[in-house]
Structure 1
Amino acid sequence: MAEEKELLLWGATSPGEILEEKLQEMNVDVNDFAARIGYTPKTVNELLKAKCRVTVEMAYSLEFGTGIPQYCWLNLQKQYDEDLWREKIKKSLKKSVVWRKFFPIGELNPRTWVKDFNNKEDGVSPILKFFGVASPKAWENYYYKNRLKVAFRISLAETEDPYAASVWMRRGEILADEIKMEKQNDKKVRSAIKKAMPQFVELAKNDVAAWEDLRRKKALPKPKVGEDFIDDGMHKLQELGAKLGIKVLYAQNFKSAPIHGMARWYKDIPVIQLHDRFKDRNAFWFTFFHELGHIVLHGKKDIFIKNVYYGNKNQQKDDEANAFAQKYMTQAGLEV
């Protein structure tokens, strides 16, 4: 096989190479050795050429025939298999360089979301590890085709830029995993949210007032390019959400996927993910109340995200979330 030949040139050692050296040392030919260990000459020849693997049974036979412990043969086979697959994966990833270019590389560069993103030798593996998928095909099946649609009734194929949208969504999943929170009964969570709505309204009113005060003083925060941003009002919202069993997350969106908010139940916990650089604080709070409306009013099997086609039924849900947001924005005395 071509891969095995390349590995031999590359430096990987197969069990067959060690066996060949041992047979020369013992001055035993293949036919004689095969008879000694109970295998056919054909099988031994295949082993010498790395065309068959050392099994546990064979390893014990080789130990009796050569004096080399069975675990050595098994370890040799394991290492050789790993080397072989490493080379195969490396070849496959080289063919996937084009796939990497579909992602918003320019905007991802200054961010620290994808570890080792600028690896010059391998620019694909860091993205696969970020998404937790084994291949570009697996990414496509999960985010672009069937898996999300089956689990959450959506497909990013309908977004303006599914690659950028998937990065933003995945960033939210990673942030959500970093927040430790016990699962609660969804009815209790929704009930707690409804009771806490006056607190959300008061927080929104005070936060917008503080924001406008900063605007008048020309002291609005200026997040650095690539940094994760969260100010005092956003932090207070996060804390209030946590008390009620909601994870509120912030992640900068992408120009090609200008998503302002998303609501979903992730691992049975309600999650609201918001863009972290709203210039209009009223828009920030409307988006939050809109996503909160989805959590309160709609099912756990839905993900609500901008620019995804939901069909007429889910459009009605979006309208209901808008009405929910309008109600509480009005109570806070905020413009929509």
Structure 2
Amino acid sequence: MMTETHFMSDLAIPPGEYLEEVLADLELNQAELARRMGRPAQAINEIIRGEKAITPETSIQLEKVVGVPAHIWSRLEADFRLIQANLNDRKEAKKEEVLVPKFPYALLAKLGLVEKTNSKIERVENLRSFFGVSSLFNLQGTRDYSPAFRQGSKDGLNHEALAAWLRAGTVLSKRDGCAEYSKKRLEQALPEIRKLTKRNDPSEFFSELRSLLCECGVSLIVIPHFPKTYTNGATFWSGKDRAVVMMSLRGSWADIFWFSLFHELGHILLHDKRSTFLEDGSHHPGRRKQEEEADKFAQVTLIPPAEFQKFVLAGDFSRDAIMRFAANLDIGPGIVTGRLHHEGLLPYTIHHGRVRYRFELANRCS
């Protein structure tokens, strides 16, 4: 079966120019064509000058009068208008070049989310495709990205970079092939996830962690911190059946990673699916309450309150005591030390059992 390939140039040639050539070959003038078609002479003249479109009805009339099939006229007209629209779009894209420096384009390219290029106009077009918008000026008013533009007013906060970070999480999560979300499965998986805090090397546990969460319908995406976003984590829903937890590589203490992860899982289990939660985000009283609830969920899940109270009352915060307490709880000792730091019971200069993680970029997505 033969397939017709139709190539389109960037040169917008009005179909009226072809019509003028056809009339010359037939030795017909515009006035005679108008009479044969039953159309005003001015309308024919406007078609030839490219000012008036050739409608389907006009295409049929032209076929009957000059013998060129109607689909040819319709295609010529459609191509002409589309090329014109593309040229106008490029002019608009030039205006968007001023926004390009606000996006972490090199990081997005490193993650394989946009094509590498130094051309500003190509970067505009690639960013439009990445975000799924017709203009980068539309980002702020788009529901999926508006949380990034509502983020707190920290000095130097780059809202466009934060929107790009969130979009990266959405795109990467769609490659996971996770199960539909199940609250019951997630709650049942928490003890197993909690045990992973004892591992000191992400290469030993990260794949298992992502698999555990994926089976519960939670896509875990860990990618580098984007400069000037000031966000360690985020939680949002990609459709009604897939939760996404994003973790940045900002900072590398293991206890902070695990607390942030359980904080985000708290949002999934406790809060509205329609919301996007950004750690270190909104200071709105309602959101602040939800952040406190997520903090509480992480604290209680990692270290049961009654057990922590007994440990604190004993008053021994030595390395050996922390290691024994962590072993009894079946968690990493750095979790205990981090909690003592938070409660002001141990100086931040003491790091009993704390470790730093080194994440490989390849671990971000399987």
Instruction: Indicate the TM-score class for this superposition, using the shorter chain for normalisation.
Output: 0.7 to 0.9
Q: TM-score, normalised by structure 2?
A: 0.75
Do the aligned partners of residues 134 and 120 (structure 1) sit closer, same or farther apart at CA in structure 2, a change above 3 Å counting? Answer: closer
Instruction: Tell me which amino acid in the other structure corresponds to 1:19.
Output: L
Instruction: Report the CA distance between 1:309 and its aligned residue.
Output: 1.4
Do residues 172 (structure 1) and 169 (structure 2) align? yes
Residue 283 (structure 1) aligns with = 256
Do residues 72 (structure 1) and 111 (structure 2) align? no
Deviation digits for residues 112-144 of structure 1 (CA, Å, limit 9, x no counterpart): 3222443355321011111111102222321xx
Aligned-residue identity in percent: 25
CA RMSD of aligned residues (A): 2.1
Instruction: Report the CA distance between 1:328 and its aligned residue.
Output: 2.7
Instruction: Report the CA distance between 1:275 and its aligned residue.
Output: 1.4
Residue 119 (structure 1) aligns with = 119
Return the match for 1:262 from 205, 225, 234. Answer: 234
Instruction: Report the CA distance between 1:110 and its aligned residue.
Output: 4.5
Which blocks of at least 5 consecutive residues in structure 1 are unaligned?
A: 1-9, 212-229
Measure, in 2, the Cα distance between the counterparts of 1:298 and 1:261: 16
Instruction: Tell me which amino acid in the other structure corresponds to 1:234.
Output: F
Provide the secondary structure at the position in 2 that maps to 1:134.
coil
Provide the secondary structure at the position in 2 that maps to 1:267.
coil
The 5-angstrom pairing of residues 1-336 of structure 1 reads: 11-105=11-105, 107-108=107-108, 110-119=110-119, 122-142=122-142, 154=147, 156-159=149-152, 160-184=157-181, 189-205=182-198, 207=199, 210-211=200-201, 231-268=203-240, 269-276=242-249, 278-330=251-303, 331=329, 332=331, 333=333, 334-335=335-336, 336=338
Q: Which is higher, the Rg of structure 1 or of structure 2?
A: 2
Instruction: Tell me which amino acid in the other structure corresponds to 2:96.
Output: S
Measure, in 2, the Cα distance between the counterparts of 1:197 and 1:322: 16
Stretches of 4+ aligned residues off by more than 4 angstroms: 105-111, 146-149
Measure, in 1, the Cα distance between the counterparts of 2:59 and 2:106: 52
Measure, in 1, the Cα distance between the counterparts of 2:251 and 2:23: 73
Measure, in 2, the Cα distance between the counterparts of 1:89 and 1:305: 34
Which blocks of at least 5 consecutive residues in structure 2 are unaligned?
A: 1-9, 304-328, 339-366
Do the aligned partners of residues 25 and 35 (structure 1) sit closer, same or farther apart at CA in structure 2, a change above 3 Å counting? Answer: same
Asked if the contact 1:14/1:50 (under 8 Å) is kept, the reply is yes
Instruction: Tell me which amino acid in the other structure corresponds to 1:124.
Output: V
Instruction: Report the CA distance between 1:17 and its aligned residue.
Output: 0.3
Asked if the contact 1:59/1:74 (under 8 Å) is kept, the reply is yes
Asked if the contact 1:264/1:271 (under 8 Å) is kept, the reply is yes
* Aligned pairs, number: 295
